[in-house]
Amino acid sequence: MSHPSAPDPELLVAIERYVKATTHGRGRYLRLLTAGIARAEDREPFLRALVTDAREITDRELGILLESHWRPRLAAAWLIGVDRRESFRGLIGELLLESRYVYAGRGYCFALARLGTEEDARLLTAYLDRYLRRPDLVYDQYWAISALLHIDGRTGSTHTERFLVPGGLWDQWSGGQYEPVVPSCFMDELCAVVAAASETGH
C-alpha cells in the first residue's frame, strides 16, 4: 500500500517566509493576488519586506516555489520581478504560456513587465496570441496586455498595436466576455511603486 509523500521541508519553510509573510494580519500572497500594494495605507512596510525578501531569497528557493501550487508560484514570480532575476525569464515565460494554475499568471506578467526587455515582450505576445483567441477562457489576459503596454511605454515599441486595433484580437476576446474593454495601464503603477521602494533601499 502506497503512502502519500511527506511535504518537502524546504518548501514548507519557503512558504512560511516568502508566501505567508504577513503585514497587518494579511498574508502576502493575498495582497499580491489583488495587486493591493499601490494604494494601501500600509504600503511602506509591505514593500520594505517584499524588497528585502526579493534580495535575500535564493535561486534554489525560488525554483522550489515555482514547482508548487498557485500561491507559492504567485509569490515567487513577484519576488523575481522585484529583484529582476533575469535568469528566470525563460521559465516564467513557459509557465505563463502553460497557464496550469489559476492566479499564478498575474505574477508571471508582473515579472516580465519588470524585466521589461524585447524578449519579455515576445513572451507576453506569445501568450496573448494564444489566449486572446479563446474568449471562453478568462485567464490573465488583462494582466498580460497591461504588462505589454508597460514595456511598450518604456521602450517605445509597438507590440500592443496589432492586438488593440478595432475589431482585433483584444476586442474579439473581451467582447466575448461582456463588452469590449479598453486595457488598463495598471502595471505602470505597480512597477513604479516597486521601483521606488527598491531604489530607496526599503
- Model pTM score: 0.91
pLDDT score at 8: 83
Domain extent for 160: 9-199
Q: What is the pLDDT of residue 202?
A: 46
Q: How far apart are CA 18 and CA 27, in angstroms?
A: 10
Return d(Cα 146, Cα 160) in angstroms, integer.
9
Tens of pLDDT along 108-135?
A: 999 999 999 999 999 999 999 999 999 8
Low-confidence ranges of the chain (pLDDT < 70): 1-7, 22-26, 38-41, 176-181, 201-202
| CATH number where 116 lies | 1.25.10
* DSSP bridge pairs for 26: 23
User: What per-residue confidence (pLDDT) applies to 30?
Assistant: 87
What is the count of structural domains for the chain? Answer: 1
- Note the pLDDT of residue 201: 60
Rounded-to-integer distance, Cα 190 and Cα 102, Å: 20
Q: Answer whether residue 2 is part of any domain.
A: no
**Residue type (1 letter), 104:** A
- pLDDT given for residue 33 in this prediction: 86
Residue 3 lies in a domain: no
Q: What are the respective helix, strand and coil percentages of the chain, to the nearest 5?
A: 65, 0, 30
pLDDT confidence of residue 2 = 45
